[in-house]
Amino acid sequence: MTGSSASAHRETAANGHKASSNGTELKREDGKVELGKKVTLLRGISIIIGTIIGAGIFISPKGILKHSGSVGVSLLVWIACGVLSLFGALSYAELGTCMKKSGGHYTYIMEAFGPQMAFIRLWADLIAIRPAGMAVISLAFGQYILEPLFMPCGIPPLAVKLATAIGLTSVMYLNSMSVTWTARIQIFLTVSKLLAIAIIIVPGMYQLFKGIISDTSLALHTYHHQNSECSGLHTVFSCTWFYLNFVTEEVDNPARTVPLAICISMAIVTSCYVLTNVAYYTVMSAEELLASSAVAVTFAERLLGNFSIAVPVFVALSCYGTMNGCVFALSRMFYVASREGQLPEVLSMIHVRRHTPLAAVLIMYPMTMLQLLVGDIYSLLNFMSFLRWLFIGVVVLGLIYLRYTKPDLPRPFKVPLFFPVVFCITCFFMVFLSLYSDPVNTGIGFAISLTGIPAYYIFIYFNHRPKWLQRTLGNTSLMICSVVVKFT
């Protein structure tokens, strides 16, 4: 790792565009070291699909069924969620092509509403949302990678945490060492996810076309949950298609690649989710699906026999792909925030040989490990889930705002205004549902996010920071640099 930005710049200047061992180049613009444009269309698609498809569709895709009250309505809701997600994704595609900076939400809020609002989003991500989300998906990886080894017995909790720690460490190491290999492995993991889904869809469609649809038809018409409501739908309408926007600076030809990758990915994901749910209903009634703790495993046991033992492995690979994609994307947000002066300078440094933002990759590691060991992760996710919708809504509102305040901003890709308006209204409706259905946890999450206001004034706003704070930040940066240099 470079000891300082200046030393990295000097080494680059001395060696020109120096090729690395993994084939990436250090790029220079106005004497600055930058990340290379290594994200192609295929890699962009793998990032989006790889982060959207996690463990949920394999383990427990029953939230929509539970809250919609019938199988037919639940399938329509899946389709509607896919269309609304496409509206949001296309809105982000416009933002990604008119502002060719990495950082995703952070960059767009900064541009539209200023540094204080951007910092509050960054603060909530850094201290709670991202570590908790990473911890949950890592625990799912640890659970399912061990399941074939312990069947039919239960897995010791200590073994799960050990496997989780190993998986998380390996993801961090991979992202620290090579952008190229991170992208290649993400493609492999995305193909694995799609293969796992195909293993479910193909036998399910065979059953359907074979004529054994009587139980499915019965479920479609007779299952009805009398207490169905929409207050829980915010928990199942997922938005994780925006991760490509976090790495815009590394995308090859972003004006073409970003919108194309988003459209292809959303079409694939929506089709896979709907067809997977239809496949489940060909062998399970709605009541059986609601009762199952791992729907894909139950499905495989009924149709695939002994091959069902491979399903947990596919689920683990799916979780690993989500972990890998999230670390790759989120590290760029911290990298950009450091470059903007809102995080310590060390996070904007690029490893001279590896050409990765190594310190930005590693920043979430200690916090995630801490939450794995001692934190109440699921409570924290409940506290913070509504904030994701709030800030996504703010980002899309920023797109509408910029249409009027900066009409001359170059927009290589421009969506009809109807798309961001509908999606923005949907986001704020989800926030309202959170407040209505769980006001206590929502209030706690809002209070946690508000701690970003004093943090902004202490760490960012004041020009003359206290000397003890300057010493602490300086010593922390030096410690990180020394550790990074030692192990790379």
| Per-domain boundaries in the chain | 35-452
Q: How far apart are CA 349 and CA 477, in angstroms?
A: 11
Give the range among 132-136, 143-147, 209-213, 220-224 with minimum mean pLDDT: 220-224
Question: pLDDT tens digit string along 67-86?
Answer: 666 777 778 888 888 888 89
**Does 216 have pLDDT greater than 60?**
no
pLDDT digits (tens, 9 = 90+) for 321-333: 999 999 999 999 9
Residue with tokens 């919609």, as numbered in its chain: 68
Task: Measure the N-to-C terminal CA separation of the chain; round to a whole number of Å.
Answer: 7
Q: How far apart are CA 42 and CA 126, in angstroms?
A: 29
* Token pair for 54: 């996690």
What's the pTM value of the predicted model, to 2 decimals? 0.82
pLDDT for res 480? 57
Q: How far apart are CA 486 and CA 488, in angstroms?
A: 6
pLDDT for 25: 45
pLDDT tens for 424-457 read 999 998 888 888 877 887 888 788 888 888 888 8
Residue 456, H or E segment: helix 452-456
Tokens (6 digits) for 383: 């506290």
Q: What is the pLDDT of residues 259-304, one digit of tens each?
A: 999 999 999 998 998 899 888 888 887 777 877 777 888 888 888 7
Closest to 81 in 3D by CA, of 272, 237, 276:
237
Q: Among residues of the chain, what percentage have pLDDT more than 70?
A: 78
Tokens representing 56 are: 């949920």
What burial class does residue 85 get, using C-beta atoms within 10 Å of its C-beta: 0-12 exposed, 13-18 middle, 19+ buried?
buried
Average pLDDT over residues 478-482: 59
* In the predicted structure, residue 119 carries a pLDDT above the cut 90: yes
Residue 32 banded pLDDT, cuts 50, 70, 90: low
Kindly state the tokens that stand for 439: 């006001």
Nearest partner of 40 among 240, 241, 187, 212, judged by Cα = 187
CB-based contacts of 155, cutoff 8 Å, min separation 6: 143, 146, 147
Give the pLDDT confidence of 219-256 residue by residue, as tens digits: 444 455 555 455 445 545 556 788 889 998 888 888 88
In eight-state DSSP terms, residue 462 is -
Architecture of the domain defined by 35-452: Up-down Bundle (1.20)
Give me the amino acid identity at 42.
L
Distance in angstroms (rounded) separating the CA atoms of residues 435 and 387: 11
Band (pLDDT 50/70/90 cuts) for residue 21 is very low
Q: Is the pLDDT of residue 476 over 90?
A: no
Q: Is the dihedral of CA 284, 289, 293, 297 positive or negative?
A: positive
Which stretches of 26-129 are DSSP H helices?
Answer: 41-52, 56-59, 63-68, 71-98, 105-113, 115-124
Higher-pLDDT residue of 3 and 107 is 107
* pLDDT for the residue numbered 66: 72
Q: How far apart are CA 213 and CA 223, in angstroms?
A: 15
Tokens of 119: 């910092």
pLDDT-derived band at 204, boundaries 50, 70, 90? confident
Q: Which two tokens stand for residue 226?
A: 């009398």
What the block records as the tokens of 362 is 């590693």
**Runs of H (alpha helix) within 294-376:** 295-303, 311-339, 358-362, 364-374
The predicted pLDDT at position 473 comes to 58
Whether the per-residue pLDDT at 417 is higher than 50: the answer is yes
Q: If you ran DSSP here, which 8-state letter would residue 104 be given?
A: T
Question: Percentage of the chain with pLDDT > 90?
Answer: 23
pLDDT at 106: 93
Q: What is the pLDDT of residue 486?
A: 59
* Omega prior to 131 cis, within 30 of 0: no
- The pLDDT mean for the chain works out to 79
| pLDDT (mean) for 387-393 | 87
